[in-house]
Amino acid sequence: MRRSFVRALVRPLVLAAAATALPLLSMSPTSPTSSTTGALSALSPASAAPAGSVVIGSFPIDVSESPWTVALSSRDRFGGTRAGQFCGGVVIGRTTVLTAAHCMGEDVLGTSAKSVRDLKVISNRTDLLSNRGQEIPVRAVRVNPDYDSSSNAEDFALLTLAVSLPQSSVIEMAASGDPAYKPGTSAMVSGWGDLTGGGDYAHSLRATRLHVLSDARCQEAYPGGAEGVYVARSMLCAGEAGGGHDACQGDSGGPLVAKGKLIGLVSWGSGCGRAGSPGVYTRVSEVVRARHLDAWAGGPRGTGGGA
Strand partners, 11: 38
Q: Which of 58, 252, 270, 277 is catalytic?
A: 252
φ/ψ (deg, to 5) at 285? -60, -25
* Catalytic hit among 107, 127, 146, 155: 155
CA–CA distance, 50 with 34 (Å, rounded to integer): 10
The DSSP H or E segment spanning 237 is strand 235-239
Look up 155 and say whether it is catalytic: yes
Catalytic residue flag (residue 130): no
The Cα–Cα gap between 278 and 299 comes to 36
CB 197 within 8 A of CB 252: no
Alpha carbon separation from 1 to 100, 170, 240, 280 (Å, rounded): 12, 23, 14, 9
Measured in whole angstroms, how far is the alpha carbon of residue 205 from the centre of its chain?
14
Q: Which of 102, 107, 169, 234 is catalytic?
A: 102
Is 15 exposed, middle or buried, given 0-12, 13-18 or 19+ CB atoms closer than 10 A?
A: buried
Catalytic residues: 102, 155, 252
